[in-house]
A and B are shown apart, each in its own frame.
Chain A
Amino acid sequence: MAEPAPLLEVRGLKRYFDASPSAFERLFRGGSRLWVKALDGISLAIQRGETFSLVGESGCGKSTAARCIVGLYPPSAGAIVFDGIDVGALRSRRALALVQRRMQMIFQDPYASLDPRWRVRNIIAEPLTTHGVVTDKAELRTRVGDLLQQVGLSAADGDKYPHEFSGGQRQRISIARALAARPEFLICDEPTSALDVSVQAQILNLMKDLQRQFGLTYLFISHNLAVIYQISDRVGVMYLGRLVEVAAADRLFRRPCHPYTRLLLETIPRLDPQGERDPVAGEVPNPIDPPPGCAFHPRCPFANDRCRQERPELIEAEGTLVACHAVEEGRLPVEPRAA
């Protein structure tokens, strides 16, 4: 039996930002165009009902990927296919609106993602009125009230303004807004990174409950590996605009393949540290001028000449997709981590 078609498919997605000096300057002082390669060709497929996470450090392109997929940035290259529809090829506002209704986003900063001058009930009702889902005022109020209760607030909170709520509560309001028009696909851009640990637990539990209740599909972006571990079905690790490993969550954490994944898992502070660690030196390079070949080779203990010249593609290796020459050539022993 063939696998069901993925809900979201991304092929060769690239997003470059122009960081060149102005045309004027280039005329007089020479110098060529500079591009920040925020996303340098990623491909992935997300199945209906699953939680797919993108993890990586700052500058790896995960937020850019989220924004390209949801339509905030136009891609520089590549295709985004939602339920068989090539989003990039859509021309009319109406066609685009149909896709927008099914795909929504939750943002990182609870303090900036709600309009400070709007009442909460209007914020939550906006998707409903924009897409004409509900026109009757009384019905609108009821729907908004229901949504507020579903995220753990009360219907009376609709009359208040965002600044009257704490960070965690605002995030709940954001979730209510995102769910208002009953989307199928939710992109969550670091939704708990700005929240305290105990509030984070509440929000993550809420998101899991809502997923079960409404059959949602999540694309979850985070830099926090422990959170990713809790919530994901599959994980994609990004480094400098590229996907370096894609695997099922428990496999990734038990048997990480790519050297960068291993580095990440090694360096997260542990609650039960096993003695002194020797952290790997080096930092993420500048995305304007990425290293040739494999982007990770300057920090990689397994780099060879091929790594310095040739960019690795994602290959299948023991149930994981990895972009690493060392794994391909069998140089890298794959041993399970002591959990």
Chain B
Amino acid sequence: MSELATASTAATVATPASAAPGRLRRFVDSDVLWSFWHSPVAVVAAIVVTVIVVCAAAASWIAPHDPFDLASLSLLDASNPPAWLDGGNWSYPLGTDNQGRDVLSAILYGTRLSLVVGVSAVVLALLLGVTLGLIAGWRGGVVDTIIMRVADVQLSFPAILIALLIDGVARSVLPRDVQAEIALYVLIAAIALSAWVQYARTVRGSTLVERNKEYIQAARVIGVHPAKIVLGHLLPNVLGPVLVIATINLALAILTEATLSFLGVGLPPTEPSLGTLIRVGNDYLLSGDWWISIFPGIVLALLILSVNLLGDWLRDALNPKLR
């Protein structure tokens, strides 16, 4: 290292002496976290979601009864109202359904199932959509046109319809005995396939913008392999909006699953999700046993609302222009 260089430039720029903080410190200090603590809505929503998720995850341990164990059901306890009403009893805090299943336990297991389906569908849609979006944006030309036209066609159908379609096709194609086992996977695939388009479009748009930026050009000039450029440079820089979409999509996925189950084409009744519970309870709503569908309904609404609110907050917090 030459004398010349040190002499001429050594004192020219003074950078702060402190060492650069690690990742965790940066996150803790970041504006995003600060905006979180200062947004009561976000904090409440986060608490609600956390509580629901934790309870659902711990369902096997905290549920008072196992609603799927047919042997433990007793028809004598069927159609009990919630504990604080006449005829209720605290061993079934939220009441029982027409078969004697404890509503609270059913909600816990059902929420777990809804969450599993919702999160898996979102992850799958994300992987598919981001990949296709990156390819379309980077390659351009014919590849881009094909992918985007497929996306456009799909967008002209409502998501539910697409999920129904895929589900219906699966049912007719697959033999009966296999259906019940893989119903879960078909459902997840159906929801994912109905949702990938948003990710693809957003990522493609961002890719088109970032592709012309000079840091990408610099990587090309250096001679970095295109795959490395896309995965190492482009991907991290286009993921921002994807996170927001994913959060909001989660709510939609759970709702879609609930809708499909409600319509009877989702999960089989032996593994009820929140949607199935609501459907089953619907039949008894007018006969006065309201608790069977109202409580699952409330939990579903709370979950979706909280996830949506979190998504809204995240979008605003990550938007540099609003800061």
In the complex, are the beta carbons of B4 and A130 less than 8 A apart? no
State whether the Cβ of A154 lies closer than 8 Å to any Cβ in chain B: yes
In the complex, are the beta carbons of A209 and B8 less than 8 A apart? yes
In the complex, are the beta carbons of A168 and B13 less than 8 A apart? yes
In the complex, are the beta carbons of A150 and B1 less than 8 A apart? yes
CB distance from A275 to the nearest CB of B (A): 39
Mostly helix, strand, loop or mixed at chain B's interface?
helix
Knowing A149-B6, A157-B15, A168-B13, say if A72 contacts B214 (CB, 8 Å). no
Could you list 28 examples of A-B contacts with CB < 8 Å? A70-B221, A97-B223, A104-B221, A105-B221, A107-B214, A112-B215, A113-B214, A116-B215, A116-B237, A117-B236, A130-B225, A146-B1, A149-B6, A150-B1, A151-B9, A152-B9, A152-B10, A156-B19, A159-B19, A159-B20, A160-B20, A169-B15, A177-B218, A202-B12, A205-B9, A206-B9, A210-B5, A213-B5
The contact size tier of chain B is 20 to 34
Chain A-chain B contacts (Cβ-Cβ < 8 Å), number = 102
CB distance from A219 to the nearest CB of B (A): 13
In the complex, are the beta carbons of B8 and A206 less than 8 A apart? yes
Specify the chain A residue showing the minimal Cβ separation from B239: A117
State whether the Cβ of A325 lies closer than 8 Å to any Cβ in chain B: no
A177 to B2: give the CA distance in the assembly, Å.
18
A104 partner, pick from B10, B20, B222, B236, beta carbons under 8 A? B222
A130 to B236: give the CA distance in the assembly, Å.
19
Q: Which residues of A contact B15 (CB under 8 A)?
A: 153-154, 156-157, 165, 169
State whether the Cβ of A100 lies closer than 8 Å to any Cβ in chain B: yes
The residues in A between 147 and 199 inclusive whose CB is less than 8 angstroms from any CB of B are 149-154, 156-157, 159-160, 164-165, 168-169, 172, 174, 177
In the complex, are the beta carbons of A100 and B221 less than 8 A apart? yes
State whether the Cβ of A101 lies closer than 8 Å to any Cβ in chain B: yes
- Pick the most buried of A112, A115, A212: most chain B CB atoms within 10 A of its CB: A115
Given contacts A130-B225, A156-B15, 5 further A-B contacts (CB under 8 A): A113-B215, A126-B222, A127-B222, A150-B9, A151-B9
State whether the Cβ of B301 lies closer than 8 Å to any Cβ in chain A: no
State whether the Cβ of B60 lies closer than 8 Å to any Cβ in chain A: no
Q: Which residues of B contact A202 (CB under 8 A)?
A: 9, 12
CB distance from B221 to the nearest CB of A (A): 5
State whether the Cβ of A57 lies closer than 8 Å to any Cβ in chain B: no
Specify the chain B residue showing the minimal Cβ separation from A212: B4
A113 partner, pick from B19, B20, B218, beta carbons under 8 A? B218
The residues in A between 84 and 98 inclusive whose CB is less than 8 angstroms from any CB of B are 96-97
Specify the chain B residue showing the minimal Cβ separation from A111: B214
Q: What 0/1 pattern do residues 290 to 303 of A give for CB contact below 8 A with B?
A: 00000000000000
In the complex, are the beta carbons of A153 and B236 less than 8 A apart? no
State whether the Cβ of A51 lies closer than 8 Å to any Cβ in chain B: no
Specify the chain B residue showing the minimal Cβ separation from A174: B218
Q: Which residues of A contact B13 (CB under 8 A)?
A: 152-153, 168-169, 172
The residues in A between 202 and 238 inclusive whose CB is less than 8 angstroms from any CB of B are 202, 205-206, 209-210, 212-213
Q: Which residues of B contact A126 (CB under 8 A)?
A: 219, 222, 224
In the complex, are the beta carbons of B223 and A101 less than 8 A apart? yes
State whether the Cβ of B319 lies closer than 8 Å to any Cβ in chain A: no
Q: Which residues of A contact B218 (CB under 8 A)?
A: 105, 107, 113-114, 174, 177
A72 to B233: give the CA distance in the assembly, Å.
17
State whether the Cβ of B213 lies closer than 8 Å to any Cβ in chain A: yes
A228 to B4: give the CA distance in the assembly, Å.
23
In the complex, are the beta carbons of B220 and A209 less than 8 A apart? no
The residues in B between 1 and 46 inclusive whose CB is less than 8 angstroms from any CB of A are 1-2, 4-6, 8-10, 12-13, 15, 19-20
State whether the Cβ of B217 lies closer than 8 Å to any Cβ in chain A: yes
State whether the Cβ of A33 lies closer than 8 Å to any Cβ in chain B: no
State whether the Cβ of A50 lies closer than 8 Å to any Cβ in chain B: no
Q: Which residues of B contact A152 (CB under 8 A)?
A: 5, 8-10, 12-13
State whether the Cβ of A71 lies closer than 8 Å to any Cβ in chain B: yes
Closest 8 CB pairs of A and B: A152-B9, A159-B20, A100-B223, A113-B214, A107-B214, A117-B236, A112-B214, A115-B215
Knowing A115-B215, A152-B13, say if A72 contacts B2 (CB, 8 Å). no
Q: Which residues of A contact B214 (CB under 8 A)?
A: 107-109, 112-113
Specify the chain A residue showing the minimal Cβ separation from B218: A113
In the complex, are the beta carbons of B220 and A72 less than 8 A apart? yes
Q: Which residues of B contact A164 (CB under 8 A)?
A: 20
CB distance from B236 to the nearest CB of A (A): 4
State whether the Cβ of A254 lies closer than 8 Å to any Cβ in chain B: no
